[in-house]
Structure 1
Amino acid sequence: MKDPLYRYFEREVNLAERLVTDIRRDLSDVLLIYQGTKKQTNYHRNLLTDLNRGIIPNSWRRYAFPPNFPVAPFVADLALRARQMEKLGHTGAEGGANALRTVSVWLGGLFKPEAYLTATRQSVAQANSTWSLEELVLAMDVVEGAADSNGAFSVKGLKIQGAQWKDGALHLSSDIMTDIPQANFKWIRPPPGEPRPTSHAGKHLITLPVYLNSTRRELLFTVDLPIKTAPGGDGRAEAVRFYERGVALIASTALT
């Protein structure tokens, strides 16, 4: 299978399978050691030391999470990721690459979310043989429902800090964090030489960062989204207020 998106999900599913298998083996060994039926090795001593201290063992650290993240919520987070990988694995096995294009993905629950964006970009370029990767620009629409059939990729679970989505635009909010109902990502090819748009459907656009989690240590990408402005108001001045508030999108709150 040469489809970039299919290969990406195949790597994700394999990573989840290997990690879960290794963790189960380690925990089984720990049980046998406590029962006195298995001899400890240096590996097991380090493993037991980490678990007793609530630290994630080094051999389990195969995807990004905040520093000093405890082992108990790590296991809970991994269980959620594994469930998503199981569903994606079944989807790919039954429907192939075409089915994976329309499935709604929890972006923050992917092991390599930045690679997912790369795979979708490569997939679109491959489907349009005259398009190069460098020409493609990421567009994001906040919608209700799944991805459309016109080349969009559906993402769920996004949060936004300092603002909320309402009536087709972002509004500043006193809430610390609010939900993005559903996001459709689409790679578009602007006409050569066309300047980057500053408005959409009469609303001013601002560029916002999308971070892996609320620590904001790992930037995944940026997106342009419309903001609410007063009738006759200055969109650029309103955009400054959003930037001053530090408005940003978060892919996962499980790792917080």
Structure 2
Amino acid sequence: GKVYEFNEADQSCGLATIDHWLDVVGHGRANVSPDKIPWDAIKTLLTQSVYGGRIDNDFDKQLLESFVESLFKAQSFDLDFALVQDSDSADVAIPEGTKPEHFLAWVQQLPEREPPTWLGLPSNAEKLLLIAKGHSLMGKVRRMKSLTDDEEAVYTPGESDGGASVDPSAATASTDSAGAATQPAWMRTIASLTATWLDVLPASVTTMVKDVERMKSPLFRVFARENQVGRSLLNTVRRDMQDLVQVCAGTLKQTNHLRSLLDDFNKGTIPTHWQRYKVPQTFTMTQWLGDFQQRLTQLGTIAQCVTAGGELDRLAIWFGGLFYPEAFITATRQAVAQRMGWSLEQLQMVLELGQGSVPGNDMDVDGGAPAEADLAAFRVTGLRIEGGHLAKGGNLELSPSASKLPVSQIRWLNKSDPATAALVDPNQPGRATLPVYLNADRRELLFSIPVQVHAQDTLKMSQRAVAVVAGV
């Protein structure tokens, strides 16, 4: 996520803002009734100017507002007011007293290491950070070991065992006196890796045949484009790997393009010309190839559905695994507008979590048209929620880990319907707004959805940064 550089100047400005409004209300008096303090003015200035002026993400702003809202209110002057409501231990209550030494003594009694729950984070937040750092460290160690092996195994021809090492991108397979090909360690690894992935990746993806009738469907058009992009990228990947196999065998001369590929494979980075869709920046080549293979599998299923004359509406789509997921969302909107005779401006999208597994709406490639009630709904899969889980009854509850969601539905509603306005109103009791991100790194926001939560968890949903992830 994005980092905001707040500093002591922001803190000083915030304190000055609070002092100013207390002076305005107090008119020189030493004591002011909490009910007389202009809480709305203070909260607005803190969330929109002092700190909020630097925040350009709506959900980061929600997080700031949740903290300000929970602390800056008249109840904070009550003796039993809890600064932190910790479910794992005793609540942190506001200190008693009115003098500075009372507050200093309270501060001295706080534990040396404050639990992450005091900041609204899950209790295992530090453990999750350490796990992430551990994975990153192990990846760097493996990469460093690979480079060290290269330096030990690669020598210039004609040199003794003490010869100088050469750049892996410039190395080639050589032949010893017995005629057997000798390869450096990194080249043997690349040869093995490319051979494995050439077996795993499909040789081709079925082409979606276009005709006049099919091209009238927004869903067909978007899937036809996905199919074309997938086939083109697959051809590029397989051709590059086949060339690398020949280079490692010494039967193909290296070019600048192939040297660049060898360097990428050796380092485990994704070649630039393969990066035609968005994945997490920390993705290695092995992760990318596994993800690409899953995307191709879905494209093959969609193409088979069209070939068999099935309805695309009946497929449960992993829209986070599409090359252009935003185009799929737009296509569903256009499809509903065509079917229902509504204008695009009238449509409001909701994501019904866990409500996609309904009778008569299975993944049947020849099951006929969807029922009337489902003309505005599209089944989606592959979603997971971070920081929460879906409880019985449809409510979203907090959780310290991520959980996979069952098949869900994207549904388009008519804004003119009063029930729609009530359903998407974020100010309704027990209602929270969650972001839906493309990938786990949360760099690409797709859209936001209203969800039903317990009333006491409304602010915590923002503080725990609960979100739905559609991709990887």
Q: Give the TM-score range, shorter chain.
A: 0.7 to 0.9
How far is the alpha carbon of 1:168 from its aligned partner? Answer: 2.6
Change (3 A) 1:167 1:199: farther
Change (3 A) 1:101 1:24: same
Tell me the amino acid that sits aligned with residue 223 of structure 1: I
Matches of 2:305 and 2:396, distance apart in 1: 36
Equivalent of residue 138 in structure 1, options 342, 349, 359: 349
Give the secondary structure class of the aligned counterpart of 2:416. Answer: coil
1:117 paired with 2:334, answer no
Which protein shows a greater Rg?
2
Tell me the amino acid that sits aligned with residue 135 of structure 1: Q
- 8 Å CA contact 1:159, 1:251 repeated in 2: yes
- 8 Å CA contact 2:424, 2:450 repeated in 1: no
Residue of structure 2 equivalent to 1:91: 305
1:33 paired with 2:247, answer yes
Equivalent of residue 460 in structure 2, options 235, 241, 254: 241
Change (3 A) 1:169 1:145: closer
Tell me the amino acid that sits aligned with residue 240 of structure 1: L
Give runs of aligned pairs for residues 86-235 of structure 1, distance below 5 A.
86-95=300-309, 99-129=311-341, 131-141=342-352, 142-143=354-355, 145=357, 147=361, 149=371, 150-151=374-375, 152-191=377-416, 196-197=421-422, 204-227=430-453, 229=454, 235=455
Tell me the amino acid that sits aligned with residue 333 of structure 2: R
Residue of structure 2 equivalent to 1:252: 471
- TM-score of the aligned structures, taking structure 1 as reference length: 0.87
Equivalent of residue 221 in structure 2, options 7, 10, 27: 7
Change (3 A) 1:123 1:23: same
- 8 Å CA contact 2:264, 2:270 repeated in 1: yes
Give the secondary structure class of the aligned counterpart of 2:308. Answer: helix
Residue of structure 2 equivalent to 1:79: 293
- 8 Å CA contact 2:413, 2:420 repeated in 1: no
Matches of 1:195 and 1:108, distance apart in 2: 26
Structure 1 residues without counterparts, runs of 5 or longer: 230-234
- 8 Å CA contact 2:356, 2:407 repeated in 1: yes
Deviations 1:144-184 (A, max 9, x none): 51556322100011111111101233343333101211211
- TM-score of the aligned structures, taking structure 2 as reference length: 0.49
Matches of 2:324 and 2:238, distance apart in 1: 22
Matches of 2:284 and 2:417, distance apart in 1: 49
Matches of 1:58 and 1:158, distance apart in 2: 28
Identical pairs, percent: 36
Tell me the amino acid that sits aligned with residue 442 of structure 2: R
Change (3 A) 1:194 1:225: closer
Tell me the amino acid that sits aligned with residue 13 of structure 1: N
How far is the alpha carbon of 1:197 from its aligned partner? Answer: 1.6
Residue of structure 2 equivalent to 1:232: none
Deviations 1:77-131 (A, max 9, x none): 11111101100111122225xx1111001122111111110110011112233x1
Matches of 1:203 and 1:86, distance apart in 2: 44
1:57 paired with 2:268, answer no
Tell me the amino acid that sits aligned with residue 245 of structure 1: R
By percentage of residues, which structure has more strand? 1
Matches of 1:31 and 1:58, distance apart in 2: 20
- 8 Å CA contact 1:162, 1:245 repeated in 2: yes
- 8 Å CA contact 1:163, 1:170 repeated in 2: no
Deviations 1:224-243 (A, max 9, x none): 1211x2xxxxx3x5311211
Residue of structure 1 equivalent to 2:12: none
Give the secondary structure class of the aligned counterpart of 2:421. Answer: coil
Tell me the amino acid that sits aligned with residue 466 of structure 2: V
Matches of 1:192 and 1:106, distance apart in 2: 29
Deviations 1:18-58 (A, max 9, x none): 11111010000011112222222211111111111111001
Give the secondary structure class of the aligned counterpart of 1:48. Answer: helix
**Number of aligned positions between the proteins:** 242
Give the secondary structure class of the aligned counterpart of 2:241. Answer: helix
Tell me the amino acid that sits aligned with residue 163 of structure 1: G
Change (3 A) 1:134 1:199: closer
Higher relative contact order (CA 8 A, sep 6+): 1
Matches of 1:198 and 1:63, distance apart in 2: 33
Residue of structure 1 equivalent to 2:94: none
Tell me the amino acid that sits aligned with residue 169 of structure 1: G
